[in-house]
Structure 1
Amino acid sequence: MSIQSLHHVSVVVDDLDAAKTFFTALGLELEGETPIEGAWADRINAIDGLRVDIAMMRTRDGHGRLELTKFHSPAAVSEGPQPAPSNTLGLRSVMFEVDDVDAAVETALAHGGELVGEVVRYEDVYRLCYVRGPQGIIVALSEDLRRRAGRVGG
């Protein structure tokens, strides 16, 4: 037995439409949407009467997926300070590689995102930053400078 691939990361949101708009603006594509409910969903989640809507977003290369989940019943639960600080236990962030981090930040800000810290350079390898998106989701953005240098110099 071994893990074959990462299928998706799931994020619970309160405003599904706003989340879809935000991640579409950053370049993800809507793969599909569906309501989820029934005995099987109750059993796997250990929640009776579960009713959610999901939107599956995918990266353009088709290898990465982000599942956006809106709970209708029972309502989503938030614990602790909101938005949660960077050192909160649990899922830290979801990172996407972008071709231009400055343009991606500008797009995120135009769609309600907020820059968490600064855009920084890690050696001559990456330009990185964190933006806070819908429901306080921390989205890491990474621009591979080696790839850019290859495009410019190639």
Structure 2
Amino acid sequence: MTKSKLVRMDNVGIVVESLDEVITFFAELGMKLEGRFIVEGEWAGRVTGLGSQRVEVAMMVTPDGHSRLELSRFLTPPTIADHRNDPVNALGYLRVMFAVEDIDETLVRLRQLGAQLVGEVVQYEDVYRLCYIRGPEGLLIGIAEQLGNK
């Protein structure tokens, strides 16, 4: 039996309360809004197992066009759990990491939108400077600046 070959990862999904606030944050980081639309209907509920649903979705794409975030705001059914402010050692998806050209300048811009440093900016050998931040709605985001041979 032949295994299917992975082609690509299409996106990472994040459920939010305020699409506008989160879109603004990721746009400031450098992502582009690719589209915004409503997903609903019987087919959608069959995929998610939620039955009848209505979800507002915004698709954000990185400048290179290879990576996407699917930001979703559930209109129906309502969200039932909130893990956004769990510590970094909680089970489940941890964070999304982005490569940036200038970590200090990026932090200045994102702090103006309410981002807060989780720990501190650290340097890993001569390879990266990186940190975790809490963005809008407490979302955990990693940013890293490659050092040396960029």
TM class, shorter-length: over 0.9
The reply on whether 1:92 has 2:69 as its aligned counterpart is no
Task: Find the residue that maps to 1:131 and give its secondary structure.
Answer: strand
Q: Which residue of 1 aligns with 2:117?
A: 115
Task: Find the residue that maps to 1:106 and give its secondary structure.
Answer: helix
Residue of 105, 108, 124 corresponding to 2:126: 124
Q: How many residues align?
A: 147
TM-score by length of 2: 0.94
Q: Distance in 2 between matches of 1:49 and 1:37?
A: 8
RMSD between aligned residues: 1.2
Q: Distance in 1 between matches of 2:16 and 2:149?
A: 33
Structure with more of its chain in helix, by fraction: 1
Residue of 11, 14, 17 corresponding to 1:11: 14
The reply on whether 1:135 has 2:131 as its aligned counterpart is no
Deviates more, 1:87-96 or 1:132-141: 132-141
1:5-154 equivalences in 2 (<5 Å): 5-79=8-82, 83-148=85-150
Q: Distance in 1 between matches of 2:56 and 2:136?
A: 16
Task: Find the residue that maps to 1:67 and give its secondary structure.
Answer: strand
Unaligned segments of structure 1, at least 5 residues = 149-154
TM-score by length of 1: 0.91
Unaligned segments of structure 2, at least 5 residues = none
